[in-house]
Each structure stands twice: as structure tokens, then as C-alpha cells.
Amino acid sequence: MHQKTIKYRHEKTVHHDCLRACRRFGVLLCLGGCNQSPEVVIYSNADEESRLAMQDALDRAGFSGQYIFSSFSTSELGGKIMAEGSNIEADVITASTYYLESAQQAHRMFAPLSFTFHALEKTPGFCAPLTAQEGAIFINTRALQENGLPRPASLKDLASPAYKGFISIPNIRSSSTAWLMVQALVSAYGEQEARRLLHSIVENAGPHLENSGSGPLKKVRAGEVAIAFGLRHQAVADRKAGLPIDYVDPAEGNFMLTESVCVTDKGAGGNPLAMKMAETLVRTARPGILKVYPVPLYEGENFREDARSSNVKAFPEPLTVDLLKRHQALMN
């Protein structure tokens, strides 16, 4: 979690008791005991840049002071959604789409979205996409040259003993970014060969196996390693900023994960502002989000040329929590 967000949520503990009472007994009755309507509780796994874009959109739409924004890691929020189902406190959730779809399958916890939108890809009626992230290989061009290392062309190349000690990757047990790499390996080589390659890549990473998706990026930026795996747009931004960072669209493909927004179905006790805020995120937060995650998701959005990956691929099976667990088991 982000510490600032935790503090803000703790300051609202007394009001949360009132919020729960409002949902149980109805807003009109609750207003007699509370001086204000309950805030919309938003749970999100968004990084700081996306979170700020979302909060800016909400505030510009007139919702300032009417919501509580709580941040979680992807796995933390996903676990919370799957465990708590419709009992979750959040009114609005932005999270990895595969977690939201798996939770809906298990709990039927999200309300149909009451507003229209025109996504490029077909979406279920209960969520709308907010961000998309593609995976790629990062290289520190200076470190690569200094260590006499060849430029990798594929993820399979990273299993070569030549790269031992020079690679950093995220751990699929704790990072959804790592799943982009594992999807590419499994799709290209099948699970058995992907397991072998993954074990060799992990062995090459050694102490540079990171629990977060941002860990490898930090290490390749600092020159602690010459090669990393991470989110493509970050390497594009670093190269544009003049850092000695470049990227490789791996031969196995650039795989993608999306994050979406949903509204929890709380029945008659739900906060009527929740759906309006979800609509605001879809309609007015996207321009700010596109500056960070430059992958078009809606009609009328366009790629920046430097952001267009050369080898976009999609995993042949639907992305679900069960599939993630199956791919995590390849580490065993």
C-alpha cells in the first residue's frame, strides 16, 4: 500500500462506521446521524501516475472530498477481491481485468455499467478498461557494451549462460508484470519447455529476482544489471529522456495486461455517486492515463509512433486467476 493513502483512510475510520450504517439502513435515515453523505470508497492497484490522473479527473468533475482513494499492490488487491467478494467495502474498484473477471465469475459482485463506451475490444458489461501494459526486454546499452554482452533478441536468449548475473526479472509469484514474460514463453514453447527456460532465466537472475515489477527497471537504470524485463512504456520513456536505456520487442511477442474499472453491486444501499465516478474515470481520466500508458483502448485514441510495439500477441486462453496460478507453478 501507499503510506499516504493508508493514513487518509485511517483518518476516516469513524466516518466508515457511519458509511456502513448508511448502506444498511438507507441514506435518508443515515443523514439524521451524519452531517454528510458517505464518500465513495475507491480501491485501486494503479501506480502513482495513473492514480493522480484519476483523482484529477474526479476533482475536475466536482467530486473533490466525496471519495476515499485507497491504493494496493496488484496481488494484494486481487486477493482481497477474490476473498471478500460482494462484502468488500469498496464502491468502485480499478484493478487487473483478470482479477475482476474471475471475481465476477466467483461472486457475481459487480453491477452492470449504466453508461455507454466504445472500447476497441469486446468487454463484459460490468467493467470498462482504463490502462494497458505491454511487456518488453530492457537493456542498459552502456552496461551491455562494457560487459561485452550480445543484444538479446528473444526471451529464450535470456536463458543463455552468457547472461548469468547480468539479468533482473520480476517474480511471477508476486508480480503481474512477470506474467507477461511467462505468457510469452508458454505461448511460444509450451509449458514444459517454458518451465525449463524460466528456471534458467531465474538462475541467471540470481539475487536480481525482484518481487515487484518496478524492481528490475530500477536495477537496469542504475546499471546494476545490463538486461531486465518490464513494462515497455517505461523503457520508451527512459530512452526518450536520454537515459542509456533501450528496449527489445522479444521474438516471442509483446503480451498485454489491462486494468479496468467496476462498480460493486450493493443493491439499494449502494452509493449513487459510484457509477458516476466510474463513468468519469472512463470519459475524462483517459487523456492523463494515455500520457503514462500510451496504448489506445477506445475509439478515437491513437498510438504515438514511439509507443507502438512491433510484435503484439495475445495468450490463446482467457486470462484468469486459475491460469495465473498454473503459470506460477512453473517456478516450482
Q: pLDDT by residue (tens digit) across 150-181?
A: 999 999 999 999 999 999 999 999 899 999 99
Kindly state whether residues 209 and 224 are assigned to the same domain: yes
Q: What type of residue is 70?
A: S
The CA–CA distances, whole Å, from 285 to 1, 63, 96 equal: 22, 13, 17
Could you tell me if 77 and 198 lie in one domain? no
Domain encompassing residue 274? 3-131+258-306
The reply to whether 126 and 144 lie within a common domain is: no
Q: Give DSSP secondary structure letters for 5-51.
A: HHHHHHHTHHHHHHHHHHHHH-HHHHHTT-SSPPPEEEEE---HHHH
Q: How far apart are CA 91 and CA 116, in angstroms?
A: 19
Same domain, 177 and 313: yes
**Dihedral sign, CA of 51, 54, 59, 62?**
negative
The 10 Å CB-count burial string (b at 16+, else e) for 161-197 is eebeebbbbbbbebbbbbbbbbbbbbbbbeeeebbeb
Half-sphere exposure for 313 (CA within 13 Å, toward CB): 22
Q: Are residues 186 and 276 in the same domain?
A: no
Same-domain check for residues 23 and 97: yes
Could you tell me if 117 and 49 lie in one domain? yes
* Residue-level pLDDT at 185: 98
Q: What is the mean pLDDT of the segment spanning 316-324?
A: 96
Grid cell of 139 as nine digits = 537493456
Q: Tell the residue number behind the cell numbers 483518518, with chain if given.
A: 11
Span 1-5, average pLDDT: 36
Asked whether residue 139 falls in the same domain as residue 160, the answer is: yes
Predicted confidence (pLDDT) at residue 84 exceeds the cutoff of 50:
yes
Which CATH number fits the domain that encloses residue 291? 3.40.190.10
- Residue by residue, DSSP assigns 223-277 as TS-SEEEEEHHHHHHHHHTT-SEEEE--TT-B-EEEEEEEEB--GGGS-THHHHH
Number of domains in the chain: 2
Same domain for 140 and 109: no
pLDDT of amino acid 309:
85
Question: With pLDDT > 70 as the criterion, what percentage of the chain qualifies?
Answer: 89
Three-class SS state of 97: helix
pLDDT of residue 16: 45
Is 130 within 8 Å of 249 (Cβ atoms)?
A: no
Residues 89-114: what's their mean pLDDT? 97
Are residues 244 and 301 both part of a single domain?
no
Q: Region of 65 please: left (phi>0), alpha (psi -120 to 50) or beta.
A: left
On whether the CB atoms of residues 247 and 139 are closer than 8 A, the answer is yes
Model confidence at 27: pLDDT above 90: no
Q: Which residue has the higher pLDDT, 24 or 277?
A: 277
HSE, side-chain direction, 13 A CA sphere, residue 162 = 12
Assess whether 34 and 172 both reside in one domain: no
Same domain, 75 and 216: no
Q: Residue 37's pLDDT is what?
A: 53
